[in-house]
Structure 1
């Protein structure tokens, strides 16, 4: 395939994800809202953000924190009104930033009007907007399991059939085989694009094409993401559906589209993101997010090996270079805080947060910052399972502890490390009560470390993680090599240092990262020659004249040299 590196605004952008419930509460009800986001836009502009990704704010019963949508064209009252949303996008565009919204069309809420009609009778016009099947031998239609644990099927007494839900039972899967359903989705997408949004983050979009007949998984324990995954991930018509979506909707607008695609491979991502194929701009892949999970999945904790992380990131960097495009992230609303997971959130919290940010922002792809990441916010340990809100966490706890009698402390340890509520604690704006997030009672507990980890402190401290992020973002705008340069991994077998280069024309970047709490020595490989060097960024003071042939790297140190 020809190497293509056409320049586009979304390759050169930095995206900031807002999880609205936890961002900023303007009215004191304990829940973040749209007016609260508008109040903080100058903070994001000052950080250097180009694009805001707003997690769902649509009407929803909130079974899965807004990813169960009951009306795609209205705003959840928790967050405000359509007028509040219109004011928000207007203020974003006035600041020359862009807005992308979540597109959640693998499933709807069971309270959506389509589903309410669908379940009335087997011959209702909306029946095949969803997947309905009679049982088999007195059991579910097949052996697929929900991603949130338990069967992927729910029995409905009214019509004596089961409906498919790959997530919560309140999230029935939409049937993309039905052209009428697809037309409804495209109409809804145009509604938002015509209101001025700049693209979509597409929730589990590679699940929308299921294998014909929905067959049993031959080996439910050899699972791809969830038992049955081989029949609902990257299905037979997925490229057809995405190309149709592009032709009928997306091609008519200048947009960024990122497809969340669990289980996607590099080879599949080349197809999804290849420019000539007209599907999506980039994908969210999860390979690097699964490296510290054991054979039983994410809750089965195992230590991360740096070589595994390097191999994974390198495979994606080289595999998509010139053929597609990467998204770059280390945390989001579904993942724990990155400094707690990949760094050291105690003694070296500031240094390791800066090191991880350097690693990510110097890779090829579009970086995604998750709210609070730029402050070095950390995971939380809540006192009891009753303090947790996340449906995935609560389902797992019930299944393992209440029903399965597993060791409660072991399960709680897994939740402390991997639970999704780690990312959902309110943003720590200042050191006042509730971290300045709300004057009321926050919907989810605020991390107690807000008194010293907060935006007010970070903005005032020129050596803070926040200001380091500002510098990284500025560098990206000044140096094409950071966006478009090719990647090469050095020292592939080193379990302590992550070193790579980026090359564009006669310029080279050398990125040095120490992943340990000890001082480490780096020896420059003889394959790298240069006549001039410049320190682009570092998270410790550096003697700019010192030789790089051999140098000592402090705990969690990061340095980037520009060589010529």
Structure 2
């Protein structure tokens, strides 16, 4: 089986993980210093791969998602020699490295765009989406996801270029084969260096409608003009699938099965069918993010339906993946917060993520229960927050520096941190939780180790059920003769669950509330009493 199917993947937002030089910004050397925390020793968290948010040179209008050079490292993070050191040290610990690949657009300061905008006759003019705009009138009604028109008038040549996000992020023209060739050449540069794969940013936006047709708008569809549009012509164009098939062939031509996981941009609340289509017949993306968990209420029946639907949409050929938090969405511990139940719920969520069929993606800090934290207006860095505050706080609350210990700057930096540090770090930090066997951190460690020890959890099939009262999600994972049974109680009450009689619940492998054995009345013939907010795992 391919390594990425069995792996636990951990997303790092590099600016916020560990600062090594006191400038207040996390960097590659800082990540190297924390590798033993992530994997490689008996005391490690135990993850198998790291996904790094962008570390390429960037003017940082969108904090790295506006790239000005695809084959270098931004000095704020280090340099290529530091990156090679990170690769070497990570691989020494059997940790893979996945890079963020942002190729829907570049920075407006990328040499390609500087050349493209220099003249209508530039050989790179057609590398971007330029259109004549008499009197500055946009050629269609496409908008930017961060607000405003999607077309920016350029006085230099009297034409406008399209940008899906900020005007400092001009979109590439993927209909031009020269663009694809240049991007694929860059991808080979990193693969040849030893990078294990890529996370593809907004992968469904690359290709736009050939005729630049207008999107339909519905007044009641969403709060902002961008949300009101049905994005028929500025995303999800059919030509994208051919590009992904060619990319898949490139990645699969390398040994050790390099991986591509795609972010598929969708309107709230999303669906599971669209990302599944970008896996094709197991010949496009290896993995496509299913963000439905990010919008799910804390209900067993909601998670049950998402899982069932995603498995069905993917079919037998493709492999699922799941995530509960990332750098763009509120942290799930905050979404599911409830007095007296927050940590128990977080343990149930961790069990769900680490025992489902599929690849789990964790977000730094979730293993210690870091919550979303408001950032004062004067300290907001995110362009979304600056534009829409106070109606939208931006994404900075999800990007607070990692809480390593309870010191003033939480062990993150000796300087002034780029964002405010975590206010609850005096009690919620790695140092404290690593010494508490019942902590959320040690729950993650225990579950990750259990996953490593049991092939049924890594690669087994899935038979999923919902209790009659819709309070407990329970399922069986099976690989060969090995069977593992998981019960997740999404309520704060005892629930009796009727499970298939042929299930032989033998040894308790894990209980989030510390049960090591069952009383006779808790396990009668075909019934299991699941305790409030309990996740419990059995072997057969």
TM-score with structure 1 setting the length: 0.87
**Quick one: which of 336, 356, 380 aligns to 2:373?**
380
Q: Which runs of 5+ in 1 are unaligned?
A: 1-6, 292-302, 398-407
Q: Is the 8 A contact 1:10 1:366 kept in 2?
A: yes
Q: Deviations over 1:144-190 (max 9, x none)?
A: 12121222111111112111111111111110111111111011111
Partner of 2:428: 453
Matched, 1:524 2:524: no
Partner of 1:11: 5
Moved runs in structure 1, 4+ residues, more than 6 A?
A: 223-226
Partner of 2:20: 26
Q: Name the SS of the counterpart of 1:155 in structure 2.
A: strand
**Quick one: which of 443, 454, 458 aligns to 1:479?**
454
**Quick one: which of 175, 195, 203 aligns to 2:201?**
203
Q: How does 1:333-344 map to 2 (within 5 A)?
A: 333-344=327-338
**Quick one: which of 445, 448, 453 aligns to 1:470?**
445
Matched, 1:314 2:308: yes
Q: Is the 8 A contact 2:523 2:529 kept in 1?
A: no
Q: Give, in angstroms, the shift of residue 504 of structure 1.
A: 4.0
Q: CA RMSD in A?
A: 2.3
Q: Name the SS of the counterpart of 2:424 in structure 1.
A: helix
Q: Is the 8 A contact 2:304 2:466 kept in 1?
A: no
Partner of 1:511: 486
Q: How does 1:181-196 map to 2 (within 5 A)?
A: 181-196=179-194
Q: Is the 8 A contact 1:243 1:277 kept in 2?
A: no
Q: Deviations over 1:521-556 (max 9, x none)?
A: 12224x343345221211112152334344544442
Q: Deviations over 1:218-263 (max 9, x none)?
A: 2355579673522232212011111122334552342021111123
Q: Name the SS of the counterpart of 1:336 in structure 2.
A: coil
Q: Name the SS of the counterpart of 2:72 in structure 1.
A: strand
**Quick one: which of 103, 106, 112 aligns to 1:114?**
112
Q: Which runs of 5+ in 2 are unaligned?
A: none
Distance 1:225 1:273 in 2: 26
Change (3 A) 1:38 1:324: same
Q: Give, in angstroms, the shift of residue 136 of structure 1.
A: 6.7
Q: Is the 8 A contact 2:25 2:418 kept in 1?
A: yes
Q: Give, in angstroms, the shift of residue 459 of structure 1.
A: 1.6
Q: How does 1:38-77 map to 2 (within 5 A)?
A: 38-45=32-39, 46-77=44-75
Change (3 A) 1:304 1:356: closer
Partner of 2:263: 260
Q: Is the 8 A contact 1:68 1:107 kept in 2?
A: yes
TM-score with structure 2 setting the length: 0.91
Q: Is the 8 A contact 2:24 2:415 kept in 1?
A: yes
Q: Is the 8 A contact 1:257 1:280 kept in 2?
A: yes
Q: Is the 8 A contact 2:486 2:537 kept in 1?
A: yes
**Quick one: which of 407, 416, 419 aligns to 1:444?**
419
Q: How many residues align?
A: 524
Distance 2:298 2:137 in 1: 40
